[in-house]
Amino acid sequence: MDYPAPCLTAKIFNEFEVLVSILNDYALLRYFNFKSTDLKYHCPDCMEDMSHLSYGEDSGRHSFKSVKDEDNTLSCVICGWDGPYSNSECKEETCDSGILANLDGGDVCLCCGEWQGVDED
């Protein structure tokens, strides 16, 4: 059976959550390069895919990310998205985050998912 991209992303995400609950930290790190103790961020690609589904405002906003500090990039273990991030203040008043993905059309907060607009630097 072929699934549309948003449904497939949701299915993979749900199955990964089950794996995280079953596997120990060593196995998660070895096979997925994922530390269960690391902060979790929203993935812009997964968020876009899952925004097409209509089962809850927060669905798709929890893709696990692993930080690669040496080059300031994040990598999604669900879809494989890689992208640069910056430590900047989010424009959303209720968000305490300072982690923004630097996308071609502007920046997006990886904690609340709020679009930041085009960077004027």
pLDDT confidence of residue 116: 83
Helix (H/G/I), strand (E/B), else coil: 20: helix
pLDDT confidence of residue 60: 45
Number of domains in the chain: 1
Non-local CB neighbours of 31 within 8 Å, separated by 6+ positions: 23
Please report, in tens digits, the pLDDT of each residue of the chain (121 residues total).
555 566 777 777 778 888 888 999 899 888 877 777 777 788 888 877 776 665 445 544 455 555 555 677 888 877 888 888 888 888 888 888 778 888 887 888 888 888 887 655 5
pLDDT confidence of residue 22: 92
Give yes or no for a contact between 75 and 65, defined as CB atoms under 8 angstroms apart: yes
Q: Is 120 exposed, middle or buried (0-12, 13-18, 19+ CB in 10 A)?
A: exposed
pLDDT confidence of residue 63: 52
**Residue ranges making up the domain that contains 12:** 5-117
